[in-house]
Structure 1
Amino acid sequence: MNKTRSRIVRFLLRNGPSSCGQIGIHLDASPSKVRRHLQLLRDAGLVQHSSAKFSASPEHVQRHVGALAAGFHVSVMPPQGPASMNQEQILPLGPQLGRRSS
């Protein structure tokens, strides 16, 4: 997660529902910059918006972080266990990288 978006989520978790202006004052950022980041956070399901205020709940954030970590582990971490020096491994990094020998 981007540093600014992380700071916004932490601010909302600590301070409760807040407007773009309130968040911007705390982060020393323009309301338009904060609004852009809040839109991305809302689209990702990390913050909610109602009555001109944004909020975040620890449950939503924890669920999102857990799903992100699980996806990262599955798609990036190498398989566990010993591998033969002559055994060819296919890494799940996408078609542009193809196959890689170990």
Structure 2
Amino acid sequence: MSNILMNRTRSQIIRFLLRNGPSTCGQIGTGLRASPSTIRRQLTLLGRAGLVQRSSNQFDASAEQVQRQVEALAESLSAQIMPTVGSSPMN
């Protein structure tokens, strides 16, 4: 999984696509009141992370794929934060 920090615009785009289904960049921008360049830039990042898919001129997000990415991120963070079993505590 690609690590992608979620900012407000990216999370709004994902919520928009989950609510409205496949949409063009223009439709997303209008719905979120954001410039087309901002939406395109964020869609590119979301696509690289596997959170958004593009077909023709429309973008879409799958609730299942978003959930898998969230779970993988939580697992990764947990592994980084929680010490491994059998490791000695730092004093």
Please indicate, yes or no, whether the TM-score normalized by the shorter chain is above 0.5: yes
Which has more radius of gyration? Answer: 1
Give 5+ residue unaligned stretches, structure 2.
1-5
| 1:32-81 Cα distance to aligned partner (Å, 9 max, x none) | 1000000000000000001100000111101100000000000123568x
- Report the aligned-residue RMSD: 1.7
* Runs of 4+ displaced beyond 4 Å: none
Partner residue in 1 for 2:43: 38
Q: TM-score, normalised by structure 1?
A: 0.76
Give 5+ residue unaligned stretches, structure 1.
81-87, 90-100
Q: TM-score, normalised by structure 2?
A: 0.85
- Greater length-normalized contact order (CA 8 Å, ≥ 6 residues apart): 2
Q: CA deviation at 1:26?
A: 1.0
Instruction: Identify which of 49, 52, 63 aligns with 1:47.
Output: 52
Instruction: Identify which of 1, 7, 14 aligns with 1:9.
Output: 14
